[in-house]
Amino acid sequence: MNEREQLMGKFRSLRFAQVDLGLFLDSHPDDPEALATYRELMREAEAVKKKYEESYGPLTPGAGSSGDYWDWVATPFPWESC
């Protein structure tokens, strides 16, 4: 597994944990442990996302945009990986 795949795998795991815990918080909005864990997951996911985008292009349209080309349409869409 190359560095790009490793970073993406980490981002995907963190984002998934965040989404799943977010559902729990919808029905338990006053759970202090879940709130603290959610905030930590979000912070980590955003940090990994930023690191990925710096090397491998935007995950959200326009992220890290610079230069003379719209990178969003230069990097693969997620189902292309076969």
Cβ atoms of 70 and 53 closer than 8 Å: no
Restricting to residues 61-80, which ones interact with another protein according to CB under 8 A? 61, 72, 75, 77-79
Question: Cα–Cα–Cα angle for 63, 41, 1, nearest 5°?
Answer: 70
Restricting to residues 12-41, which ones interact with another protein according to CB under 8 A? 12, 15-16, 19-20, 22-24, 26-29
Q: Which amino acid is at 6?
A: Q
Site for another protein (CB under 8 A): which residue of 33, 60, 66, 68? Answer: 60
7 is an interface residue for another protein by CB under 8 A? no
Placement of tokens 């815990």 in the chain: 21
